[in-house]
Amino acid sequence: MRDRLYLALFKTFRWIVIHTPPKVKSLLIRALARLIYLADRKHRNIAMVNLDLAFGEELSDGQKKDIIKKTYENLLFNLADFVQNQGITEEELLGKVEFVNSHIVKEALDSGRPVVFVTAHYGNWELLPLATAAKFGPLTGVGRPLDSKVMDEILKANREQFDIKMVPKKGAMRELMKALKQGRAVGLLVDQNTAENEGLLVSFFGKEARHTPAAALLALRMDAVIIPAFITTEDHRRYKIEYYPPLEFEKEGEKEERILKNVQAQADITEKAIRKKPEEWFWLHKRWKNRYEEFYGRDVWR
């Protein structure tokens, strides 16, 4: 029953996206995003806690609320783009994306070393791997299946275009190492909270946070190049993917210390990207839960 409801809602949204003129579609998406923003007090509060932790008094309450509103808009525009990307051709896909510093990726691939991309739930993060794979070649990522089987099938079909392969989180390291050995690049989202036994403590916006060491471990074991990549947009029609210089390991020092420094570098570059356009990050997730769980139990909406 629930799957039928999800499918009906998705098909309705898909029809609107496909058949509505662009300007009208944008107005409808913004209006729907505002309604969800007003109704979803729980996640509004989570976002405000996150913004308080990240920016403190650097931003006013009004600025923080504007960021949260745009976060909801970004999610719905991403969903609309997701719909439009189903069955998209390589020419159509690459036509709406500008690649910045693509020479960084080309040089890494030409070097013969495996490549690991790291990114965040930032901008249109579902589009980033599609465009990267379409331009540079096969890619393997990690994804948790959705609870709804029918929606998971739709999501997987979209994600696995252009020779992308998704593997489940359980046993992922083995599959990712296998992919790198086969000459496939790997893409990882590294910005969310992890369990205490799964993540390393880093400084993120000046606060302690758990960060996955997966990319660092892969790079160390496979002598892989870690390339940060982030996607942004100004109008939700055209997108810009920027690749950053590789995060190389220090040559000397204890293994654990070298891993931690690399993971901290991943957190630093992610923070740098978010500070440029904070409205494009996914603020609705309890990013600092592992260290500041009590904050999320407070009602800080104002």
Residue ranges per domain, the chain? 2-297
pLDDT, tens digit, for every residue of 217-271? 999 999 999 999 999 999 999 999 999 999 998 888 899 999 999 999 999 999 9
At residue 119, does pLDDT exceed 90? yes
Q: Is residue 207 predicted with pLDDT exceeding 90? A: yes
Tokens standing for residue 243:
């690749």
Is the distance from CB of 153 to CB of 10 less than 8 angstroms? no
For 249: left if phi > 0, alpha if psi spans -120 to 50, otherwise beta; the answer is beta
What is the rounded distance in angstroms from the CA atom of residue 210 to the CA atom of residue 203?
Answer: 9
Q: What is the distance between the alpha carbons of residues 154 and 79, in angstroms, rounded to a whole number?
A: 12
Residue 72: in which H helix or E strand, if any? helix 61-84
Does residue 101 come out as left (phi exceeding 0), alpha (psi in the -120 to 50 range) or beta? left
pLDDT over 90 at 201, yes or no? yes
269-272 CB contacts, 8 Å cutoff, 24+ apart:
269/228, 269/244, 270/118, 270/120, 270/122, 270/190, 270/191, 270/204, 270/228, 271/204, 271/205
Interatomic CA distance for residues 177 and 190, integer angstroms: 17
Distance of alpha carbon 54 from alpha carbon 57, whole angstroms: 9
Of 2-16, 115-129, 206-220, 255-269, the range with the lowest mean pLDDT is 2-16
Report the alpha-carbon distance of residue 106 to residue 4 in Å, rounded. Answer: 44
pLDDT tens digits, 76-88: 999 999 999 999 9
Kindly state the DSSP code that residue 145 receives in the 8-state scheme: P
| Fold held by 2-297 | Glycerol-3-phosphate (1)-acyltransferase (3.40.1130)
Question: What is the CA angle 164-216-46, rounded to 5?
Answer: 80
**Residue 236 structure tokens:** 């939700």
Q: Quote the pLDDT of residue 30.
A: 97
The pLDDT, as a whole number, for residue 70 is: 98
| Confidence at 2, pLDDT banded by 50, 70, 90 | confident
- Tell me the mean pLDDT in the region 154-183: 96
d(CA 125, CA 138) in angstroms, rounded, equals 17
Q: What three-state secondary structure class fits 182?
A: coil
Which pLDDT score is estimated for 57? 96
User: 62-114, pLDDT tens digit by residue?
Assistant: 999 999 999 999 999 999 999 999 999 999 999 999 999 999 999 999 999 99
Amino acid at 140: T
Query: Which DSSP letter does residue 283 get?
Result: T
CB 114 within 8 A of CB 178: no
Rounded to whole angstroms, the Cα distance separating 139 from 126 reads 13
What's the mean pLDDT in 123-134? 98
Q: What is the mean pLDDT of residues 124-148?
A: 95
Q: Which regions of the chain does DSSP assign to beta strands (E)?
A: 97-100, 115-119, 139-142, 164-167, 185-189, 200-204, 207-211, 225-233, 239-243
The pLDDT value recorded for residue 144 is 86
